[in-house]
Amino acid sequence: MQNRWNPEDAARLTDDLAQCVYASRLLGADPALVLHGGGNTSVKIQQPNLFGEPETILYVKGSGSDLATIEAKDFAPVRLANLRRLTTLESLSDMQWLNELRGNVIDAAAPPVSVEAMIHALLPARFVFHTHADAALAIMNTPGAAERIRAVYGDDVVIVPYVRAGFPLAKAAAAIFQAERSERTTGVVLLRHGLFTFGETAQAAYDRMIEMVNQAEAHLAERVAPPTVAPARPDPQRPLRHELAELRRSIADAAGFPVILATHSDEQTLRFAQREDVAVVSQQGPVTPDHVIRTKRVPMVGRDTAAYRAAYEAYFHEHQARTGRSLAMLDPAPRVVLDPALGMVTVGRTAHEAAIAEDVYRHTITIIEQAAALDSYQAQPAADVFDTEYWELEQAKLKRLGRPPMFAGEIGLVTGAASGIGKACVESLLARGAAVVGLDINPGIEQLFDRPDFLGIRCDVTSEEQLIGALERTAQAFGGLDMLILNAGIFTAARRIEALPTEDWRRTMSINLDANMVLMREAHALLKRAPRRGRVAIIGSKNVPAPGPGAAAYSASKAALNQLARVAALEWGQDGIRINSLHPNAVFDTGLWTEEVLQARAKHYGLTVEQYKANNVLRIEVTSRDVAELAAEMCGPLFAKTTAAQVPIDGGNERVI
């Protein structure tokens, strides 16, 4: 592992907290060291309190912060002496312990304190760093882990057997560290938790962490050959979208809410999913019980959701009977699915959660493969995993999350999404918690939003092949489709019928009508499998009820699309799919309306630009966001019992009225 410390960069940092931030980012930059922003770091700083008295404060990484991007504000300042004193208590309930952690933070604006804060407090050095290095965890998850760790590090480390995180771990670590530390001690190994290193300078603690990880990697390199199998997905050209939508539906049924499915069919995931012993090795449990919250106890092997749910419920009832505690069962749905044809599918209430599950389980695959090649993979007993999964503080954290956004776990697709109404529709769906796919012929769609819950696809909607490919990518990125907003369209130059070129007519029909028919047809199978039933919102036009001269092709195409929607509402009602149309007019904040065009049109009617924009019954401007918000609401519960509706959004048009 590369040591990334740069003395010149570090020399520019004049205080200890800045040095800690610098070292933290170096640790967070290496994915083999830090799991999805996890791990934690700290520094002890003496500073005056309100009375001017010197006091040592522990600045420890706040819970939920990412080491790779951490800033000084992401550290929680805690009274060191009080944390150390807590370890002298014989017992402390979880809630008492949490209250003490929170009560000793000196800044009300600070983030929540890390659960490892007490371990940082008891280690005497100024800087303390903690990571979940893959190489170390691979050694820890084999039979005789303590002996193997001792063989790697000798007497330079104190080894703490596995204890559940929280006060019990801090108490055990304090006792063992005090009893076994020596002048040679430069690190602590918490079995199945990770590594702790420390030093009087940030560089010393960082250098020691890299050294310890390199020792573990060297131990593995001497004994473990790299994988040689290069697997491939069976029948790689076979479409997966219908299978994935069906799998998503069954997992959502087990979970009790919609979910996002992200499919990963690369060499690593396929190799692991195609192992002959995958049904055994993957069911041993997580590499550390701390990861169970993100990936559940074990992944689902294959696609038998009912069997997985039954096994999970049996696991729950067995351990509830063992503990004698009255607990509410977390949703019995997997967070990881291993399938030889799919590779790995990760599951989450949001795309972000599915990405976390992917990150965690990729590390898990690496660790399991290395541990199995070293000896055999041996996870912590299921009882320990259960105690973490149903830990009182984790249960309390879930309760604090509150009600999820309206479209959490759902997927929307918007056409013509690069600008104007389409872009606004994407934003409205994202704001309601949906994962969104945007289609547009403009290549800028691919960089429209840089976030895990958006996928921009450059697509010519007149190409049936490209539309089908876009749906395939949608299913592989998010698992299916719940909401379809048909927005893409064109308005050719105004021409009377006797001067209308056939090419203009056909091009308008191709984009405004034919493309939408193809997309609706191909999306039907996905919408039919939507956990909360599929929804379609069609961006129509005022020209449907009130056409104007010079717009024959546009008006006819929109009217035909409206009729198509009405027929689809009749045919798809039995599948629970609802289809509604909205008819905007005079939406001027789009690419079609430049300032010059607006001024010319306003002048033609003898109006100012502002008067022209609000030239309707209500004298109010209609924006792209207004249209998008109505489209999003049509996909929401407010319209749950409405289909085939046509709603104007035009400020009131006398001809429509």
> Nearest 10 degrees: CA dihedral of 411, 415, 417, 422?
-90
Which one of 223, 251, 277 terminates a domain? Answer: 223
Q: Long-range contacts of range 621-625, CB-CB < 8 Å, 24 or more positions apart?
A: 621/588, 621/651, 622/584, 622/585, 622/586, 622/587, 622/649, 622/650, 622/651, 623/424, 623/587, 623/588, 623/589, 624/420, 624/421, 624/423, 624/424, 624/587, 624/589, 624/590, 625/424, 625/427, 625/428
**pLDDT confidence of residue 399:** 67
Number of domains in the chain: 4
Q: What is the residue type of 203?
A: Q
Cα(650)–Cα(634) distance, integer angstroms: 16
The region that residue 39 occupies, defined by phi over 0 for left and psi between -120 and 50 for alpha, beta otherwise, is left
Which one of 381, 400, 419 terminates a domain? Answer: 400
Q: What is the mean pLDDT of residues 510-536?
A: 98
Residues 429 and 572 in one domain: yes
The CATH code of the domain that includes 444 is 3.40.50.720
Domain ranges, residue 614: 591-621
Contacts of 95 by beta carbon, 8 Å cutoff, 6+ apart = 392, 393, 396
Residues 602 and 535 in one domain: no
Residues of the chain with pLDDT > 70, as a percent, come to 98
Residues 266 and 325 in one domain: yes
**pLDDT confidence of residue 335:** 95
Residues 381 and 395 in one domain: yes
Which one of 162, 193, 223 terminates a domain? Answer: 223
Cα(245)–Cα(249) distance, integer angstroms: 6
- For residue 540, which of 589, 594, 500, 485 has the smallest C-alpha distance? 485
Q: Is residue 60 part of a domain?
A: yes
Cβ pair 63, 130 in contact under 8 A? no
The CATH code of the domain that includes 150 is 3.40.225.10
Instruction: Check pLDDT > 80 for residue 391.
Output: no
Residues 463 and 581 in one domain: yes
Q: Is residue 657 part of a domain?
A: no
Dump pLDDT digits (tens) for 317-346: 998 888 888 888 888 999 999 999 999 999
Q: Is residue 348 part of a domain?
A: yes
Q: Is residue 656 part of a domain?
A: no
Q: Is residue 230 part of a domain?
A: no
**pLDDT confidence of residue 342:** 95
Q: Is residue 235 part of a domain?
A: no
Residues 533 and 579 in one domain: yes
Residues 212 and 304 in one domain: no
Q: Is residue 231 part of a domain?
A: no
Residues 626 and 616 in one domain: no
Q: What is the mean pLDDT of residues 517-534?
A: 98
Residues 283 and 393 in one domain: yes
**pLDDT confidence of residue 400:** 66
The CATH code of the domain that includes 252 is 3.40.225
For the chain, the average pLDDT equals 93
Minimum mean pLDDT range among 71-75, 394-398, 462-466: 394-398
Residues 327 and 467 in one domain: no
Q: Is residue 245 part of a domain?
A: yes
Q: What is the mean pLDDT of residues 147-162?
A: 95
Residues 125 and 202 in one domain: yes
What is the model's pTM? 0.92
Query: What does the DSSP 8-state code read for residue 401?
Result: T
Residues 450 and 528 in one domain: yes
**pLDDT confidence of residue 93:** 87
Dump pLDDT digits (tens) for 257-311: 999 999 999 999 999 999 999 999 999 988 887 777 678 889 999 999 999 999 9
Instruction: Check pLDDT > 80 for residue 34.
Output: yes
Cα–Cα distances in Å, from 613 out to 183, 238, 616, 618? 78, 50, 8, 11
